[in-house]
Amino acid sequence: MNTFTKEDILELVPQQPPFRFIDDIIELNDDGIVSSYKFKPDETFYAGHFPGNPITPGVILLETMAQTGVVAYGIYLASKQMPLNEIQEILTVFTEAEVEFTGLVRPGDKVIIRAKQIYFRRLKLKVEAEITLQSGEVVCSGTIAGMGVRQV
């Protein structure tokens, strides 16, 4: 129905800086999405997590996976079924996750986020997702899901 560019999708993601954890969408197709994000050393959460040894909180990594794998990818998939004005009325909410954390992300690290579709139906999306460091080391992986709901 629509032909959205990667930039259009980023613009439609409701989370925006300083709480958008997607710098660039690298790949986007019917099977999945790949994006990147560089965690800035001055991100506010590093001050207390942990002083003198800052690491990115797991909840932020989960949010990073959800923004790419459920929100941005969900917008792309919805754009194939509905017009822009309807997409703009939809808010994607996070519904479930089963994620294993296996590494650390430190200030200044650039990560690659990958998500592959498990299913997408009636604006419900479930994906297999992972975050890797640029070295290829997997930091976290699992399944996450969300659904689009009309904003009131």
pLDDT tens-place string over residues 99-120: 999 999 999 999 999 999 999 9
- Helix (H) or strand (E) segment spanning residue 86: helix 84-87
Q: Where are the domains of the chain?
A: 6-150
**Is 84 in contact with 133 (CB distance < 8 Å)?**
no
Q: What topology is assigned to 6-150 in CATH?
A: Thiol Ester Dehydrase; Chain A (3.10.129)
Cα–Cα separations (whole angstroms), residue 63 to 84, 122, 145: 24, 22, 12
pLDDT tens-place string over residues 11-50: 999 999 999 999 999 999 999 999 999 999 999 999 999 9
Q: 102-138 burial, b if ≥16 CB within 10 A, otherwise e?
A: ebebeeebebbbbbebeebeebebbbebbbbbeeeee
Residue 49 annotated to the active site = yes
Determine which one of 38, 49, 116, 124 is catalytic. 49
